[in-house]
Amino acid sequence: MKKILLAVIEAAAAAAAFFLYSLATVELPELEIDSSVQAGHSGVAPLPGQPESAPSPAPADPEATEPSPDLAFLSQEQQDVFSRAQETVIYLADPSNLAFQTGNDSGGEVLLEGRSYLLITGQDENYQDFRARMRTIFTERCLEQLDFDARFRSRDGQLAALVGGVGGAIDYAECPDTYRLESADDDAVIFTLIGHYIQQQPEETDTDFLTRRAGGAFDSTMEFSIRLVNSAEGWRMDEFHSPRFPYTF
């Protein structure tokens, strides 16, 4: 009986050994490894739709926004138009000043629609001619912005200039304006005019303040957008402001 039991145990052991040997020799299918896993940092694939690292933005060119002391970025024609616009400021801000321009004189006051106007005599006494001359500098849109048709009227064809105006900014500094080009193409040029302003400090004497002002000092700046457009007649001011009269136009 003991011999029979030993034979059964040996047979069972042999069968188990054969079974294990069969498992060891079976070929398992080769696993495919995603290449994105291999490329990922520390073997971890990036999340779908998210790059591993965003490119750093290019640094801004510091010279692109650096103010210029002159208008060299404008053509000669554009500079001439802007210069002529600046010359009109004294009588656009106070129209009656036109009577004191070279070649003009005063022809007395008249009342038009409840407002006092000074009749202009001399080279600018013809209203239509004067308006046509302004159109060689400004677009119609810009004249509207400057409230031209309220400041200057026609009385039987004669130019009448509104009496009264506003004074210039008393804190406008003596240092020159600076400029920053914003955009330019064949149709339009836009630039920023930077006006400089100075205030007398409480501890400053009049002499100290005037000396500091004469030396080109300033305490603050104000920016104004200027736009020229290329019309059928040539370059014209389409948006205009004066740092001398910042609250007028």
Distances from the Cα of 185 to the Cα of 75, 188, 225, 229, angstroms: 12, 6, 16, 10
CA torsion 39→42→48→49, rounded to 10°?
Answer: -80
Q: What are the strands, taking DSSP E only, across 113-240?
A: 115-122, 152-155, 158-162, 178-184, 188-197, 220-231, 234-239
pTM: 0.72
The tokens for 204 are 């400053």
Q: How far apart are CA 3 and CA 246, in angstroms?
A: 121
Which residues on adjacent β-strands are paired with residue 194? 178, 223
The tokens for 162 are 């509104």
Q: How far apart are CA 198 and CA 214, in angstroms?
A: 11
DSSP letter for 198, please. -
Start-to-end CA span in the chain (Å)? 124
Is residue 22 very low, low, confident or very high in pLDDT (cuts 50, 70, 90)? very low
What is the predicted pLDDT for the residue at 34?
A: 42
What is the predicted pLDDT for the residue at 47?
A: 30
Percent of the chain with pLDDT over 90: 69
DSSP letter for 172, please. B
- pLDDT top residue among 89 and 9: 89
What is the predicted pLDDT for the residue at 55?
A: 33
**5-9, 154-158, 208-212: which has the minimum mean pLDDT?**
5-9
Residue 17 has pLDDT above 60, yes or no: no
Place of tokens 């400021």: 89
In sequence order, which residues have a C-beta less than 8 Å from that of residue 18 and are 6 or more positions away? Answer: none
The residue-averaged pLDDT of 74-97 equals 96
Residue 35 has pLDDT above 90, yes or no: no
**41-50, 76-85, 101-110, 177-186: which has the minimum mean pLDDT?**
41-50
Burial environment of residue 238 by CB neighbours within 10 A (0 to 12, 13 to 18, 19 or more)? buried
